């Protein structure tokens, strides 16, 4: 089955530690995205990548970093510089980011930092 996987489903970290969230897709999509959801807010874009070895900052990129070394993978690192890292993180992909194509979402990772 084609789809997007995110792991783990729940992640707990101590404040001051960096943590990397995994996102893998086997849909052969060029574009991939990372969103963050907080209570009462819409999905907010952290980073997106339109093609391998290229990525752009979204609306709330501060304190996050990404890489796109392979088409299938778009890991997100939440660094210690992110002031409020506790949130639900969703990864998505689409055929291309410059077109109106729908996005396909993973199941999400809930990160708790204490």
Partner 1 sequence: ILNVEQSPQSLHVQEGDSTNFTCSFPSSNFYALHWYRWETAKSPEALFVMTLNGDEKKKGRISATLNTKEGYSYLYIKGSQPEDSATYLCAFLTGTASKLTFGTGTRLQVTL
The contact set with partner 1 (CB under 8 A) reads 4, 31, 33, 35, 40-45, 48, 50, 56, 58-59, 90, 97-98, 100-108
In angstroms, what is the minimal distance from the CB of 96 to partner 1?
Answer: 9
C-alpha span between 49 and 28 (Å, rounded):
14
Interacting residues of 86 by C-beta distance below 8 A, sequence separation 6+:
111, 112, 113
- Least separation in angstroms between residue 56's CB and partner 1 is 8
N- to C-terminal Cα distance for the chain? 36
Question: Shortest distance, CB of residue 17 to partner 1, whole angstroms?
Answer: 27
């Amino acid at each position: 089955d084609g789809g997007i996987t995110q792991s783990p489903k729940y992640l707990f970290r101590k404040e001051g530690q960096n943590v990397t969230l995994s996102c893998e897709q086997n849909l052969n999509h060029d574009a991939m995205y990372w969103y963050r959801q907080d209570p009462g807010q819409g999905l907010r874009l952290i980073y997106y990548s339109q093609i391998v070895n290229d990525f752009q900052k979204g609306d709330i990129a501060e304190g996050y970093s990404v890489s796109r070394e392979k088409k299938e993978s778009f890991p997100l690192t939440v660094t210690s510089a992110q002031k409020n890292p506790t949130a639900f993180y969703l990864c998505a992909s689409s055929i291309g980011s410059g077109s109106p194509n729908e996005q396909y979402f993973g199941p999400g990772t809930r990160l708790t930092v204490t």
